[in-house]
Amino acid sequence: MQNNTNDHVFGYVLEVLTTGLYPNNLDIIREYVQNGYDAIQSLRELGVRGSEEIHINIEGNSITIHDTGIGMDRDTVEKYRYFGYSEKITTKSTGFRGIGKLAGLSVARDLEVVTSKYNIPYQYRVKFLASKMLNKVIEGKKVGINYPLNELINDHTIIEEFPEDPNTHYTKVILHDIKEDANDLLSTETLMSHIGQVMPVDFDDNKFKLGKIIQDKLLSNVNSYRTVEIFLNGQKVLKPYSDSDGLSGLTFHEILSDNGDDIVAYAWVMKNGSNSKAITNDQVKNIRAIYKGFMIGSSDILTSVLFSSGRQFLSGWFAGEVYIMDEELIPTSARDNFESNAARQILFKNLREQLGRVLDRTANQTSKVNSITKELEKTKKVIQNIQSVTPEELPKDVIIQKKKEIQETTKKLERKLEQNKSALSNELRKNVFKIIEDLNQEKTKIEEMQNNKKVNTEVDFRPKEKQVYEIMVSSIKTYFKKEGLTNEDELISHAYKKLIKVFGTKSTSN
């Protein structure tokens, strides 16, 4: 086995950290956008303001990520090649491990970085012969050779220098020749969705009227909140929230530290405004964890944090973001969660107690309101069906059935009102009382029918004729129930009139 005892990091690490660290190829684009985002912030801190944009372009089988940040000088470019080396400060930067900058080695056959630092009259180009470098590692493993990492990088990188305008500043990362198993990176639709959900872009004011309110609140309450303009193939990417998603009930929440002195997170939350069930748009569903502008983990990372076992389905009823400001928290290398430490345990506990319980109560209240609203809609249909029946020559059993239906419906509605009255608004209570009043009016009409000789008729059925009538009624009711139809009484009454003409009638009174 070939080893250099003066080296402590070998090529196997390169394979593990590039091909194994990012199982989702889209996270590789996030890594480069994070670097661009930090570079733009560094430029802001110098007091230099420019376009502050990040452009992502798919060109054939390659992808370019171009930021207008501070750029890199010769010394920084040399260090860029050092795997795991970073001078970024964890409390200020989104990336800091020095690993993500080489993430493209796992999806592209070659990686190129073109950069120029503000106030430096040179452009630098770094070419990583990624495919050759990884192949050498893999082939070496087959015969037990482990190459020192520094040797691999030096042998497979080229640095070139060219004159450049000192007023320019930028960094372009080019992923040349995307591999077949990473073709999802070449999908504009997939990338657009990922950027909008994961990266620090603005709300779409034209599609989401509450976006401006949310953004103003975040600017006032989240010290690290800042967005950046990101363009994909020339089209500006915005957050996917839209008025068409039917979200309502916007609320804001401060998550306090254990001693109550510090705000460790700030959240905005909305719920499904139409009913008690999951939001249908997966791009906005669930409450997401945001740290230094970027989403941590998947959209449901906070589901088990906010909701207890057996209640986690409620997560899909809500949409929103939790901006985490506790600087004791550190994202994992893959940014799929936070490193397990005391700060994470305290944050998750406080999120459950200060936000999760509020959401659980909101869900319960929404369920109660929706329950009685549905009952009101059913009751209105009952009233409409009763009102549609013509009283002339109405069968006696139909009258009795209608009276019974009104009584049962009234009792059910009154019971729902009593069970859920604490959750109902004054307006909804008024609606319930109005419906009950309408039911009682219909009950009075039915009772009048019952006492009306013209209405209260019976056919003098012989046994076989009676059997025909009973089969007819049973068949109509069975069919209407099976098909989910209403107004079967109209058909029964119509058929009853026909039978009267065939069989003859005998008037009776109660």
Q: Find tokens 């309502």 and name the residue.
A: 248
CA distance 77 to 440: 83
Residues 6+ apart with CB under 8 A from 226: 41, 200, 293
Q: pLDDT tens for the chain, 510 residues: list them.
A: 344 444 545 555 565 555 556 778 899 999 999 999 999 999 988 888 777 899 999 999 999 999 999 999 999 998 887 765 555 544 455 554 446 677 887 888 889 999 999 999 999 999 988 778 878 888 888 888 888 777 788 888 899 999 999 999 999 999 999 989 899 999 999 999 999 999 999 999 999 999 999 999 999 999 989 999 999 999 999 999 999 999 999 999 999 998 888 999 999 999 998 766 889 999 999 999 999 999 999 999 999 999 999 899 999 999 999 999 998 888 887 788 998 899 999 999 999 999 999 999 888 887 777 777 777 887 887 777 777 666 555 566 667 777 787 888 888 888 877 877 776 777 777 888 888 888 888 888 777 776 765 555 555 567 777 777 778 878 888 888 787 776 676 677 677 667 766 665 544 444
What would the DSSP string read from start to end of 72-109?
--HHHHHHHTSTT-----TTT-S--SS-GGGGGGGTEE
Q: What DSSP character marks residue 182?
A: G
3-state class (DSSP) for residue 458: strand
The pLDDT of residue 24 is: 85
3-state class (DSSP) for residue 301: coil
Residues in the chain: 510
CA distance 52 to 48: 10
3-state class (DSSP) for residue 1: coil
The pLDDT of residue 138 is: 80
CA distance 3 to 236: 50
The pLDDT of residue 508 is: 46
Query: What is the pTM assigned to this prediction?
Result: 0.74
What would the DSSP string read from start to end of 399-416?
HHHHHHHHHHHHHHHHHH
The pLDDT of residue 491 is: 76
Geometric angle at alpha carbon 265, from 262 and 267, rounded to 5°? 135
